[in-house]
Amino acid sequence: MHYTEVDNLIPVILAAQDGNDEAMSQLLDMFSYDFDREAAYGKSYIDPDIRQELQIKFVFSIQRFNVAEHLAQVPTPVNSRFCRK
């Protein structure tokens, strides 16, 4: 399952932050396509070392992600900076 197929990642992120290994594995699985794509950027193969580095940084990012601050932000239109006023 890809993360775009999930309506709300917040419960999974919170569970992963609470130490739920299954939730962290689920997040890693959801983003695996993105890890592969970035680890193969400019190459014809997926570099396993780069993929592993991306996964490690992802885990640290999830642990440090401030869910409350994210939820408090006012949503902006996707292309608002490109719109003329």
Q: Is the Cβ–Cβ distance between 6 and 51 less than 8 Å?
A: no
Greater confidence, 23 or 8?
Answer: 23
The mean pLDDT value of the chain amounts to 87
Residues of the chain above pLDDT 70, percent: 87
What does the pLDDT look like over 38-56, one tens digit per residue?
999 888 999 999 999 999 9
Per-residue pLDDT averaged across 71-79, rounded? 74
pTM, full prediction: 0.77
Residue 82 confidence (pLDDT): 56
**Residues 48, 67: Cα–Cα separation, whole Å:** 30
**How far is residue 56 from each of residues 6, 27, 30, 50, 71, measured CA to CA in Å?**
22, 12, 15, 10, 25
